[in-house]
Amino acid sequence: MSSTTIESSAAGPAKRKPVPRYPLQIRLTILSAGFRPFFLLGAIFAAVAVLLWLPVYHGELTLQTTFAPRDWHVHEMLYGYLPAVITGFLLTAIPNWTGRLPLQGAPLATLALVWLAGRLAVTFSADTGWLAALLIDACFLLLVALAALREILAGRNWRNLNIVALLTLLLVGNVAFHLEAHLGGAADYSIRIGIAVVIMLISLIGGRITPSFTRNWLVRANPGRLPQPFNKLDMVIVAFSGLTLGLWVAMPFSPISGSALLIAGVLHLVRLARWAGDRTVKEKLLLVLHVGYFFVPLGFLLTSAAAFGLIPASAGIHAWMVGGAGVMTLAVMTRASLGHTGQQLTASLPTQGIYLAALFAVAARIAAALLPAWSDPLLHLAAIGWAVAFLGFALSYGPTLLARGKPH
């Protein structure tokens, strides 16, 4: 499979233009493609932020932020780590959608520095001021959305304007987070907005690349039953999910939202069952996509149970965020890093270890929500598993992302 498959598959079945070659005059390899700095920085930040969160949670460490401790943790995962990985993916994908040259060199470095400035501004907002933190932090998603819009319009790639719309909604959620935290003391609606946008991105992009990659591998390596391609049923499920998530954002504990969440969870299970994931056991690079996507319907089902007061809301939220977002981003990061650096598309033992650590983290984090008597040790185990997974990615794939070479 070529290194461009991950992006062309995400664009869907529309006619694809030739992938532009990367200019050779870029001196620093890490600035030659968007996935290089943002996957590496995002992975390191994801691990460090969670390791910092534990002593903050226990009152052993105080950050110079205007956010409440919980809000800092949520914000930096939802509006810090995830936008970095989403940007790395999109900056690598959009040239394949549009046939235009990718963002590289000084513009890419500038974008990475703006993201880093946002992390510092939020963490030290007690010194910089909440408004300065908002403006600096919001600049990143604004620039990403504008860059994506420019490229999609220039390439006349109208079908992917929905990605720009979701980026814009994520930007709105981020701004709302700062405003809610400042005016009300804690964020609420803006957290659910961000989660809803992330789940929609996974449903759209993950829902295209997972069956596409599976089909390509099965045709070559394991002939037989193939996954169903993206069709009208998928469009109905994604549309219904969007409406359901909108209800959940507005009324998280309403029986109406709970019923819609239950239906959406079942529909996503049906969708996942159509992708022949059981036939990918031999190739963990594929299997992890199916496993990661499983946490989308699980999140819907657990959040439905929470809407009816049966379990804590954090169980479903962490199924979505640690499971759906965490595992799926690792799956995409490892696959894109291998494919776009000319490596063999197969999961090595260290890569499989990264996946197992992430799955351990999500299992421990959901259990911590469901078993309050054991929540403290389970939270520590979840944090350790998460940090091992993302630091493992940085150590294994960092050498290739920084320079031409193979991951360890």
Q: Are 224 and 218 in contact (CB under 8 A)?
A: yes
Quickly state the pLDDT bin for 3 (edges 50, 70, 90).
Answer: very low
Cα–Cα distance measured from residue 73 to residue 62, given in angstroms and rounded to the nearest whole number: 12
260, amino acid identity: A
Q: What is the pLDDT of residues 184-200, one digit of tens each?
A: 999 999 999 999 999 99
**Statement: the pTM of the whole predicted model exceeds 0.85:** yes
Per DSSP (E only), the strands in 205-347 are none
Are residues 105 and 24 in contact, defined by beta-carbon separation less than 8 angstroms? no
Band of residue 404 on the pLDDT scale cut at 50, 70, 90: low
pLDDT digits over 316-346, tens only? Answer: 999 999 999 999 999 999 999 999 988 999 9
Are the C-beta atoms of 67 and 180 separated by less than 8 Å? no
Q: Which residues contact 53 (CB under 8 A, 6 or more apart)?
A: 69, 72, 73, 383
State the pLDDT at residue 23: 53
Query: For residue 16, is pLDDT > 60?
Result: no
- Please give the Cα distance from 189 to 373 (Å, whole number): 28
Q: Are 324 and 341 in contact (CB under 8 A)?
A: no
Which contacts (CB < 8 Å, 24+ apart) does range 214-219 have?
214/275, 214/276, 214/277, 214/279, 214/280, 214/286, 214/289, 214/290, 216/1, 216/5, 217/1, 217/280, 217/283, 217/286, 218/276, 218/279, 218/280
Q: Does the pLDDT at position 8 exceed 60?
A: no
Residue 219 and residue 203: Cα distance in Å, rounded? 24
**Confidence band, pLDDT 50/70/90 cuts, at residue 25:** low
Q: How many whole angstroms separate alpha carbon 378 and alpha carbon 363?
A: 9
User: Diameter of the chain by CA atoms?
Assistant: 61
The predicted-structure confidence for 218-261, as pLDDT tens digits, reads as follows 999 888 899 998 999 999 999 999 999 999 999 999 999 999 99
Q: How many CB atoms lie within 10 A of CB 3?
A: 18
Distance, CA of 281 to CA of 288 (rounded, Å): 9
What gap in Å lies between CA 116 and CA 383, rounded to an integer?
Answer: 22
Tokens 């169980």 correspond to 315
* Residue 211 binned pLDDT confidence (cut-offs 50, 70, 90): very high
CB environment 383-395: b (16+ within 10 A), e (fewer): bbbbbbbbbbbbe
Nearest to 90 by CA among 146, 43, 50: 146
Of 4-8, 65-69, 110-114, the least confident? 4-8
DSSP 327: I
d(C-alpha 31, C-alpha 107), whole Å: 9
pLDDT over 70 (residue 22): no
Each residue's pLDDT tens digit, 261-316: 999 999 999 999 999 999 999 999 999 999 999 999 999 999 999 999 999 999 99
Radius of gyration over alpha carbons of the chain, in Å?
20
User: Which pLDDT score, from 0 to 100, does residue 223 have?
Assistant: 85
Domains (range + CATH), the chain? 27-186 (no CATH), 188-401 (1.20.210.10)
